[in-house]
């Protein structure tokens, strides 16, 4: 039976000793990244024509590095190899002109993580055994019972919580029953997706949560500004005992509260997108969507926030892998002129302002809803391209 890789995310509840271990491992991974990057930069500075040290070469350097810095032995050894792999991939992307130059990692970054390839085991209900950490309390271990874990990642995010992300190997989902239906989808802002059948799916909106997130964002900015002023005044008046920004906890509480509201919004949006895409894959055998360059569209500052909230990229990504899993077909077409062409007679009526939501074809007299007409044209394009 075919196998596919799937991601599962669990909440971690480490004790104080395990928290100290986690932060030591976060720091060790960051240290290895910075050391390898510094050596690569120094080697290029001394001899620009020299060959780049690849992943195998960096792994060879790990042994002398551990001898020089014994604290690196506190890490899962595979996590340091993953650091080298990620750095080598960053340089490969740089050489292909698909990414920027790798940067040094800071210990002041709010989000911290490390990844390993060692064996993780479920040892009891809501208990897992992780390399170097031993038995640790988690959530919902039933989701990974009996599955082969390929790699694991432990994250600390801006909400102050720890998460365990697992890449597991599972049997490929069964193909869904064929319905014989085909649909074209036009994405928008007020409505996330408009189908060629005339159905409009609303964009996710959580007004109350957004208001709370904005409110706590303001509190965070104000409290941090006050703490910064207080630190400067204290350090100016006291030459021996210096204060630091982290000594003022009030702004950090606001940061965590703000981050938790933002995470709740993100989680609810993701849940909405999962339910919507699953429903579409169950209903239709062929789904045609437009190939939009979201990053380019976000250069329009009037629409950037609304486009980001709509999450077009996540919507397309979910449709892609769910169609592949369940034996359905996803066709991606270029969106050129789809809102300007009459879906009834094919007459090209020319560009229209965004404010124009309905129009009548001057050739055949058909009255169109702009979005539904675009979705029908997208469907026609996809069926023509797919044969």
Cβ neighbours of residue 214 under 8 Å, at least 6 residues apart? none
Question: Would you list the domain boundaries of the chain?
Answer: 3-171, 207-263
- Please give the distance of CA 272 from its chain centroid, rounded to a whole number: 16
b (16+ CB within 10 A) / e for 209-233: eeebbeebbebbeebbeebeeebee
Q: What pLDDT does residue 346 have?
A: 82
CB atoms within 10 A of CB 45: 8
pLDDT on residue 386: 66
DSSP letter for 208, please.
Answer: H
The number of beta carbons lying within 10 Å of the beta carbon of residue 342 is 21
pLDDT at 361 (0 to 100) = 86
Q: Bridge-partner residues for 184, per DSSP?
A: 288
pLDDT computed for residue 297 by the predictor: 65
- pLDDT by position in tens, the chain (length 387): 678 888 999 999 999 999 999 999 999 999 999 999 999 999 888 888 877 788 999 999 999 999 999 999 999 999 999 999 999 999 999 988 888 899 999 998 989 999 999 899 999 899 999 999 999 999 988 889 888 999 999 999 999 999 999 999 988 888 888 999 999 998 888 888 889 998 999 988 888 898 999 999 999 999 999 999 999 999 998 888 888 888 889 999 999 999 999 999 999 999 999 999 999 999 999 999 988 776 666 666 767 777 777 788 899 999 999 999 898 999 999 888 888 888 888 888 888 877 788 888 888 888 888 888 889 999 988 888 765
pTM of the model: 0.85
Distance (Å) of CA 314 to CA 155, 190, 294, 385: 21, 17, 11, 24
Distances (CA, A) of 346 to 82, 92, 128, 381, 382: 54, 46, 61, 12, 15
Residues 6 or more apart whose Cβ sits within 8 Å of residue 359: 349, 352, 367, 368, 370
Residue 92 main-chain phi, psi, to 5 deg: -60, -40
Q: What is the pLDDT of residue 10?
A: 94
192: closest CA among 182, 200, 184, 183?
Answer: 200
Burial 168-189 (b: 16+ CB within 10 A, else e): beeeeeeebeeeeebbbbbbbe
What contacts 338, CB < 8 A, 6 or more positions away? 186, 290, 374, 377, 378, 381
**Whether the Cβ atoms of residue 14 and residue 8 lie closer than 8 Å to each other:** no
End-to-end CA distance of the chain: 30
Q: How far apart are CA 231 and CA 241, in angstroms?
A: 11
Instruction: Give the pLDDT of residue 305.
Output: 76
Tell me what pLDDT residue 15 has: 96
């Amino acid at each position: 039976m075919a196998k596919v890789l799937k991601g599962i995310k669990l909440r971690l509840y480490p004790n104080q000793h395990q928290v100290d271990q986690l932060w030591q491992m976060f720091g060790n991974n960051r240290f290895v990244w910075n050391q390898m990057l510094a050596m690569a930069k120094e080697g290029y500075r001394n001899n620009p024509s020299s060959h780049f040290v690849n992943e195998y070469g960096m792994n060879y350097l790990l042994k002398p590095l551990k001898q020089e810095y014994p604290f690196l032995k506190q890490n899962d050894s595979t996590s340091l190899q993953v650091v080298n792999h990620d750095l080598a991939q960053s340089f490969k992307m740089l050489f292909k002109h698909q990414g920027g130059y790798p940067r040094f990692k800071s210990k002041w970054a709010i989000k911290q993580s490390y990844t390993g390839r060692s064996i993780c085991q479920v040892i009891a209900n809501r208990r897992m055994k992780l390399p170097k950490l031993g038995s640790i309390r988690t959530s919902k271990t039933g989701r990974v019972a009996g599955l082969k874990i390929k790699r694991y990642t432990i994250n600390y995010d801006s909400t102050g919580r720890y998460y365990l992300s697992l890449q597991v190997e599972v049997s490929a989902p069964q193909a869904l029953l064929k319905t014989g239906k085909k649909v074209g989808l036009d994405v928008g802002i007020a409505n996330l997706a408009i189908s060629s059948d005339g159905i409009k799916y609303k964009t996710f909106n959580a007004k109350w949560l957004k208001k709370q997130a904005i409110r706590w964002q303001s509190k965070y900015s104000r409290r941090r500004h006050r703490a910064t002023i207080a630190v400067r005044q204290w350090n100016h008046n006291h030459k021996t005992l210096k204060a630091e920004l982290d000594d003022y906890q009030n702004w950090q509480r606001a940061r965590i509260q703000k981050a938790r509201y933002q995470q709740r919004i993100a989680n609810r949006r993701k849940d909405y997108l999962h339910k919507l895409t699953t429903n579409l894959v169950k209903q239709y055998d062929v789904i045609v969507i437009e190939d939009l360059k979201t990053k380019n569209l976000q250069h329009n500052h009037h629409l950037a926030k609304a486009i980001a909230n709509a999450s077009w990229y996540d919507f397309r990504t979910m449709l892609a892998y769910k169609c592949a899993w369940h034996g359905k077909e996803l066709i991606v077409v270029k969106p050129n002129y789809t809102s300007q062409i009459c879906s009834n007679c094919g007459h090209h009526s020319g560009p229209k302002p965004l404010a124009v939501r309905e129009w009548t074809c001057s050739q055949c007299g058909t009255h169109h809803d702009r979005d539904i007409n675009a979705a029908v044209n997208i469907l026609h394009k996809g069926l023509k391209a797919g044969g």
